[in-house]
Structure 1
Amino acid sequence: MSNGTEDLENLIALMAKLPGLGPRSARRAVLHLIKKRSQVLLPLADALHLVGTTVRECLTCGNIATADTCHICQSDRRAIGQICVVEDVADLWAMERSGVFKGRYHVLGGTLSALDAIGPDELRIPKLIARITDERINEVILALGATIDGQTTAHYIADQLPGVTVTSLAQGVPVGGELDYLDDGTITAALNARKAL
């Protein structure tokens, strides 16, 4: 590119950091945005600014929200006594898309990983344990990926919760699968067929 295009190069480099976009895809996306400046680029810039300044993590469950407490935690329509534990917000959204689970959630923010030096304190596990007592939870549903780290995390959490029924998603979740990539029917079947750990 010619001189004076540092801003464009910076935008392309930032776009290339997004999941699923490499330098070529980012370049095409930026060119498209410029061509559709008034229809796409400017509204996108406004939306990014708004989200960047207003969205935060729910203090209770870890979902994202525009207030300190998300709409799920605030809702009096959600079942009391059940918490569905997920790895990240994308998994929470996948569970919500299925429309089957009517309780509350807890987002861990990842899974335990000795290789990456991620222990319980780097995740929201201590907050989960505190919620069990504070909210009188009688069932914890572990909706973690069927990966080695996901299963290690599930067993660790189950060991930390004596006296509480701990279940996990069952059939339908393939080994190595992630919730965000599953269809609603598979999530529904897995939730309905959960089993005790």
Structure 2
Amino acid sequence: MKMIRMGAFNALAGQGATPYLFPMASPEIEALTQALARLPGLGPRSARRAVLHLLKKREAALGPLRAALEAVDERLETCGICGNVDTANPCAICADPRRDQRSLCVVEEVADLWALERSRLFPGRFHVLGGRLSALEGVRPEDLAIDALVARIEAGGIDEVVLAMNATLEGQTTAHYLADRIERFPVRVTQLAHGLPVGGELDYLDEGTLAQALRARRPVA
């Protein structure tokens, strides 16, 4: 049987011939693919590969994934103190009496908190803003957990506030805004220093780089 090249295929289609149409994926598979494609770091092609893997390894992959997603949906909640995500409220970090109550590290997102926790170098507590100031995206101070941060500092017992913002324009703008908001309190305000590249985001940095940035933190100018 002779193979029809694409040029001939298109010519046949242009002459009114009906080309063979491959069957589309079922609505369920398409919905799963689209849901995965909306996740950070996954595009349509990666999502399709992930779906095919799940379908191929249904017992080994799809079942555990379904159980994990159901558990997350039912049990996870946001910590009312710091904004972390955990199965308890307060979260394990806020409830741990061994943490240094005098040091508070402010981060943009929960992913940044987790990244710093993996370094195992910061013994204090955290505060998640839930984003960063951005004129382009319309994110204002009232859209972030800044008032809650000020209230925690105002309550007393905190000696140092570490502004662990990402090294982006928006991150540094947020850090300077926070420094201005809390300068009236008798606390030492520091920020991450050497090892944090300009434009870098904490969640993508290795533990060694984060460790260096934590050790070399400096007062906010």
Give the alignment's TM-score, normalised by structure 2. Answer: 0.86
In the alignment, the residues of structure 2 paired with residue 130 and residue 5 of structure 1 have an alpha-carbon distance, to the nearest angstrom, of 52
Matched with 1:153 is 174
**Where has structure 1 moved over 4 Å in runs of 4 or more?**
none
Q: How does 1:32-47 map to 2 (within 5 A)?
A: 32-47=53-68
Q: 5+ unaligned residues in a row in structure 1: which ranges?
A: none
Q: 1:5–1:82: structure 2 CA closer, same or farther, 3 Å change rule?
A: same
Aligned residues: 197
Matched with 1:58 is 79
Q: 5+ unaligned residues in a row in structure 2: which ranges?
A: 1-21
Instruction: Classify the secondary structure of the residue corresponding to 1:21.
Output: coil
C-alpha offsets along residues 95-144 of structure 1, whole Å, 9 cap, x if unaligned? 11111100000011110111111111101111000011225211100011
Matched with 2:187 is 164
For the pair shown, the structure with the greater C-alpha radius of gyration is 2
Q: Could you tell me how far 1:181 is from its partner in structure 2?
A: 1.2
Matched with 2:37 is 16
In the alignment, the residues of structure 2 paired with residue 139 and residue 151 of structure 1 have an alpha-carbon distance, to the nearest angstrom, of 18
**Identity across the alignment (%):** 55
In the alignment, the residues of structure 2 paired with residue 155 and residue 95 of structure 1 have an alpha-carbon distance, to the nearest angstrom, of 21
Matched with 2:130 is 109
Give the alignment's TM-score, normalised by structure 1. Answer: 0.96
Residue 181 (1) aligns with residue 216 (2): no
In the alignment, the residues of structure 2 paired with residue 44 and residue 74 of structure 1 have an alpha-carbon distance, to the nearest angstrom, of 29
In the alignment, the residues of structure 2 paired with residue 69 and residue 99 of structure 1 have an alpha-carbon distance, to the nearest angstrom, of 20
